[in-house]
Structure 1
């Protein structure tokens, strides 16, 4: 078998491994392996094929990490609107309890709402700013 065939087989195995693990980084390694296959098709020697595959794979991983770092919001998942679609929704609080909680109707069910630190309890409209387990952390809308 030709060297390019082995590179393509390795690239396919990396794709299968990525599908089993769900990480983007194996796809970046797969791009490096594909670059090794292309370099084999171009007639480069085995040492150059390995260098091309390694350089392309490492560069792709570094670019993916950089993009991932730039795109992350820095918020915990419980307060990140990209991760939790409840963030930013409004609820109506009719009455606050003495312990600082309230029962609110939200999405067809009764939820426990708690105030964000520093907010004053008063009946009215509130915006969901975070979820802590099954509690809605709310702030005045």
Structure 2
């Protein structure tokens, strides 16, 4: 088997592993292996093939790390609608009760009674509200 074919087989193995892990980092390393295969196809010595594969792989990983896909999301997932499908759903609040500086209510939602808290900066009026965040068993809402 020729050198370039070995590089491409290794890249294919990493592509298959990337499908199971779901990260883009193995995809970037596979890109480096493909670059090594392209250089090997050109008839360059093994040392240069390894160097090109390493350089392209490192640059691809660093580029991914600096992109928005490689950054970790800071903060909590309490207000992320991709994690909590209740975010953005509507509820009906019949009556607010003042507890210090916050307003609390108890409402039925999804077949159970939930504690609801009004987000700061909104007026405590009964009626339709939208879930903006979930903290434990408490729904934080804003008027619709």
Unaligned runs of 5+ in 1: none
Scaled by the length of structure 2, the TM-score of the pair is 0.75
The offset of 1:37, in angstroms, is 0.9
Unaligned runs of 5+ in 2: none
1:104 maps to which residue?
Answer: 107
Equivalences, count? 140
**Counterparts of 1:80 and 1:72 in 2: how far apart (Å)?**
14
Counterpart of 1:68 in 2: which secondary structure?
coil
- Tell me the alpha carbon deviations over residues 78-105 of structure 1, each in whole angstroms, 9 at most, x when there is no partner: 1134544433443220023576543334
Counterpart of 2:64 in 1: which secondary structure?
helix
CA RMSD of aligned residues (A): 2.9
The offset of 1:20, in angstroms, is 2.8
The offset of 1:24, in angstroms, is 1.3
1:49 maps to which residue?
Answer: 49
Scaled by the length of structure 1, the TM-score of the pair is 0.77
